[in-house]
Structure 1
């Protein structure tokens, strides 16, 4: 099996990263990390917490490579991110509107102190070994992602916890899994981070053998040929690409701009779907539709002008126009004083 499937060179490089690491200085690191990224026009979201780092960013190849070098070999982190789980892909357009570095209590929120990946996690399973594991009859396969993610695609035979947020996963375990019955549990998520905590949590609850897909669905789609794949559909990603498929190519899914629910081609064929305004998942929420309709109107007008409406590009344009107006006003005052 190839190390990775070939990807078409595209203008933007996307880096997804996470690492559970001891970062008691996360608050001090935040502005330094933000400054480094913004100086190179890198965009996306990185989460810092005392337990580590998590996030996805994009930029030019040179910018993202510089960030990777700074994270892994720079003095700020001092080698604490060595061995981080990192996945690279590409994008036709910049998939993020702005750069955000956020401080949070956890890099993935479960609110279960007993789940500590720094102390114990399940058994990592490489992507190329995943098929043989999940095809076993004595293995319970669980998708740890939320319902809207599962709706776009999942592994065959996987159980769907139908959670709205990861914090609900604890309730699912208590109600549907039993360590006395479910001797072998295999789990997966988008990039691997949720499974780190989920596997640690299951071990704390007395489950004996817990497995999780190393690198998550993204790694699986990167290295497993489509004709050997057990993954059906597309994988939801948290950026403007919305979803990716085998080889990490951009998928067909879009977002409802009113409720942010991912939409398949069938969803967009619904009578309740209005581009940029509404979909079948938020059909009864008129207040969201009004705001979305106005937003779509402004985006369409900005597009006609060839200008950005959202994100850092819009902020830069607004700042430039403001500076131009100030300069014009100052020039006018100078002319008046001369007269």
Structure 2
């Protein structure tokens, strides 16, 4: 597994998962939590009988040590493992959780460790989804697909992955839909979704290996069929081509990702609500924001909301990055001294 070089000022982010029989390793939860906390690593690792799933961040040295530790403790060989970087720590704390599933579908008959669809490498994805006989399916939730998706993809409009089963029952037919290609953020949901379709009689099921993140890392922007930004479940909020941090921010009222257009909506209020949740009762969010503003006016730090302060820091960095990009675009181009 290759390591991604990052500058000393950046945080290295590792996303990994593997479906396998991990039932004998669940007792190691305390050791894994202690290992991460001792090295300043933050994020979430989920352990279940069906496998391991995690996204964590820390210094390059700490993340490299964790990968080595996992390889000694768990059979990570063959796991999906991706590295990226973040300008600021994208997680607030470290959590190691034991759950029934590493990605919840509530279909116990589905076992991705035994059978999944056909993997398609990022560099081969464009050719597959360009075919007219292929049904292209986004297996993520509605708010993720709204931020960005592949050209021509079907959005199932699910609010949780569990609803994917109902979408399949209502909209797909193995006799009609002979070839189904699907994608998700990092590949994990597609592993389970493809296994589910196979169990329902679909014969040709394909999924993007490494997910959208691998595609954005691998495929040049000028050749890309990806539109928008890719939502990620940390304080970066979104990434774009080359896995650079995107411009999306989170609504602190409903936790939906927001584009620049969303933030320009009359119903948007920073730290409180957006157009999606403006009509919902948000007294807690409003009071929290009021206290933050009071503390700011007094020159004090609002101690009750580290998450909001962390998000605000990231937002300011994104604003500065956008401004720098705009200034660079307006700057006159030097002719190198030639008239």
TM band (smaller chain): 0.7 to 0.9
Q: Which residue of 2 aligns with 1:123?
A: 118
Q: Which residue of 1 aligns with 2:22?
A: 23
Q: List per-residue Cα deviations over 1:36-81 (Å, max 9, x = no partner).
A: 0000010011111011111210001111111011111x2x32xx12
Work out which of the residue numbers 306, 311, 334 in structure 2 matches 1:310: 306
Q: Is the 8 A contact 2:3 2:83 kept in 1?
A: no
> Structure 1 residue 6: deviation in Å?
9.9
Q: Is the 8 A contact 1:6 1:247 kept in 2?
A: no
Q: Which residue of 2 aligns with 1:229?
A: 224
Q: Which residue of 2 aligns with 1:42?
A: 41
Work out which of the residue numbers 253, 259, 262 in structure 2 matches 1:267: 262
Q: Which residue of 1 aligns with 2:314?
A: none
- Structure showing greater radius of gyration is 1
**Distance (Å, rounded) in 1 between the aligned partners of 2:109 and 2:132:** 30
Q: Which structure's relative contact order is higher, taking Cα pairs within 8 Å and 6+ residues apart?
A: 1
Work out which of the residue numbers 234, 253, 256 in structure 1 matches 2:248: 253
Q: How does 1:51-200 map to 2 (within 5 A)?
A: 51-72=50-71, 74=72, 76-77=73-74, 80-200=75-195
Equivalenced residue count is 305
**Distance (Å, rounded) in 1 between the aligned partners of 2:123 and 2:8:** 24
**Distance (Å, rounded) in 2 between the aligned partners of 1:33 and 1:122:** 31
CA distance 1:12–1:4, change in 2 (3 Å):
closer
CA distance 1:106–1:221, change in 2 (3 Å):
same
> Structure 1 residue 267: deviation in Å?
0.6
Unaligned runs of 5+ residues in structure 1 are: 315-339
> Structure 1 residue 299: deviation in Å?
4.4
> Structure 1 residue 25: deviation in Å?
2.9
**Distance (Å, rounded) in 1 between the aligned partners of 2:279 and 2:126:** 41
> Structure 1 residue 171: deviation in Å?
0.5
CA distance 1:245–1:285, change in 2 (3 Å):
same
CA distance 1:33–1:47, change in 2 (3 Å):
same
> Match of 1:141, SS?
strand
**Distance (Å, rounded) in 1 between the aligned partners of 2:83 and 2:64:** 10
> Structure 1 residue 22: deviation in Å?
1.1
**Distance (Å, rounded) in 2 between the aligned partners of 1:196 and 1:44:** 22
> Structure 1 residue 241: deviation in Å?
0.5
**What value does the CA root-mean-square deviation take over the aligned residues?**
2.2
Unaligned runs of 5+ residues in structure 2 are: 311-339
Q: List per-residue Cα deviations over 1:244-292 (Å, max 9, x = no partner).
A: 0000000010011011011111110111000000111101112x2x211
Q: Is the 8 A contact 1:23 1:49 kept in 2?
A: yes
Q: Is the 8 A contact 2:6 2:60 kept in 1?
A: no
**Distance (Å, rounded) in 2 between the aligned partners of 1:280 and 1:244:** 23
**Distance (Å, rounded) in 2 between the aligned partners of 1:258 and 1:267:** 14
CA distance 1:44–1:299, change in 2 (3 Å):
farther
> Structure 1 residue 106: deviation in Å?
0.3
> Match of 1:272, SS?
coil
Q: Is the 8 A contact 1:5 1:247 kept in 2?
A: no
TM-score (structure 1 length as normaliser): 0.85
**Distance (Å, rounded) in 1 between the aligned partners of 2:201 and 2:95:** 38
Q: Is the 8 A contact 2:3 2:64 kept in 1?
A: no
